[in-house]
Amino acid sequence: MASETTAPPPPAANLKRIVAASLIGTTIEWYDFFLYGSAAALVFNKLFFPGSDPLVGTLLSFLTYAVGFAARPIGALVFGHYGDRLGRKKLLVLSLLLMGGATFAIGLLPTHATVGAAAPVLLTALRLVQGFALGGEWGGAVLLVSEHGDAKRRGFWASWPQTGAPAGQLLATGVLSLLTATLSDDSFVAWGWRIPFLLSGVLVVVGLWIRLSVDESPVFQEALARSEARGRTRGSAAERLPLVSVLRHHWRDVLVAMGARMAENISYYVITAFILVYATTSAGVSRQTALNAVLIASAVHFAVIPAWGALSDRIGRRPVYLLGAAGVGLWMFPFFSLIDTGGFGNLILAVTVGLVLHGAMYAPQAAFFSEMFATRMRYSGASIGAQFASVAAGAPAPLIATALLSDYGSSTPISLYVIAAAVLTLIAVGVAEETRHRDLAGVADHDGAEVPVPAADARSTA
């Protein structure tokens, strides 16, 4: 068997177009997903769960928010399977259509006052579609860039799709902030909240136009050709399911990825979603002030992610990731103390520092997870590791934080919750292997399945 060396990097213009396509697509997907989270904190408790105590209504609203996370592992399995068989591009187009369609439909939903109990049921169903789509989006977007990009700067280039999260948060929060600033509370609750959801239809058209213009990953195409050749040689076209291959060859990497996601995912949703509850109910901050703080911090978050990604190319994925996990854990008590002052400047400082530290985990994550898995199981492996963790991490984070606040009336248990997640991530990343020098083309093992190896070790063997 012969190993394959990594293909030369594509022309700069082509790579930038691929990065732009992934970034715009992920921005739209995260805009849709985060828009729901912000609306869940601000208006869904009134429109779809009326008659409850305000905190109970918020808990119910966040419960439907968490349902979207429950669907993400299913999306990871389905999109990962077909993405490893058919290619990254086709599945990314489908994920964008599903997400955009569900978000647009939420903007048209009747409320509880109009159709009664059917309203939260319809809302939950559309949230499931959102989660299913996002479960398949992340893996494909980061792989498309990772597998096209220059190996020496993979951390930098692959971090750009990651900026789609703060860009989507920035866009969603910005639109909501503009509407709450220009509309009365009654108008916003009556009809204004629908506008950002309906805007998703326009954004999806733009995203599809750009995403359809890019080429399939050359690393995937080469791996597919080798796989088909092996099938002809052995007289069988059937291949092991990607999921089976992942669990057989990469079960340890899946566990590392899940552990790595704990602090990253939990801290992000506490800092950006739960803060809208905590700042307005416990710190006496207005809804507009809280939204503006998240808006400013998201802009900084967007700017620092590529810098963290570039640093991971120089010193490795693990050191940068470990710095972020430790930093987020240490920041939690100062984070809530600053918010408790009620000052706008302190609120901005609390959220901004939290998101900068979060970026140290999120930026290298794309390259780190991509480099763990072989090409024909990479979509499945990266997606499963990332999205299964989200069920235990990001999904219940605002719900748990709100429940802790309701039960204890203090931010201390919430800080301890995030610190515990940081410890789990430090352990997971601490035992992981450094992947910075791995060759994404990989080398074939005795079963014909590819396993990633260091680029320096990729050489032809008899």
* DSSP string computed for 413-448: HHHHHHHHHHHHHHHHHHHSPP-TTEEEEEEE-TTS
Torsion, Cα 10 13 14 18, to 10 degrees, reads 120
Rounded CA-CA distance 366/16 in Å is: 17
Rounded CA-CA distance 50/61 in Å is: 10
- The contacts of residue 27 (CB under 8 Å, 6+ apart) are 163, 164, 167, 168, 171
- Total residues found in the chain within this entry: 462
Q: What per-residue confidence (pLDDT) applies to 446? A: 39
Are 74 and 132 spatial neighbours (Cβ–Cβ below 8 Å)?
A: yes
Tokens (6 digits) for 412: 């201390």
- 284-294 pLDDT per residue, tens: 888 788 888 98
- Nearest C-alpha neighbor of 164 from the set 367, 321, 363: 363
Tokens (6 digits) for 247: 């669990």
Number of other residues whose CB lies within 10 A of the CB of residue 380: 30
- The contacts of residue 362 (CB under 8 Å, 6+ apart) are 162, 165, 264, 268, 305, 308, 324
Number of other residues whose CB lies within 10 A of the CB of residue 341: 13
pTM over 0.75: yes
Q: What are phi and psi of 181, to 5 degrees?
A: -80, -30
Residue segments in the chain with a per-residue pLDDT below the cut of 70: 1-13, 41, 51-62, 65, 149, 227, 230-240, 442-462
Number of continuous H segments (helices) and E segments (strands) in the chain: 20, 2
Q: What per-residue confidence (pLDDT) applies to 2? A: 35
Tokens (6 digits) for 131: 């989660």
Query: CB-side exposure of 181: number of CA atoms within 13 Å?
Result: 11
Is residue 183 left, alpha or beta, with left meaning phi > 0 and alpha meaning psi from -120 to 50? beta
Residue 443 forms beta bridges with which residues? 451
Element (H, E) at 300: helix 287-315
Q: What per-residue confidence (pLDDT) applies to 330? A: 98
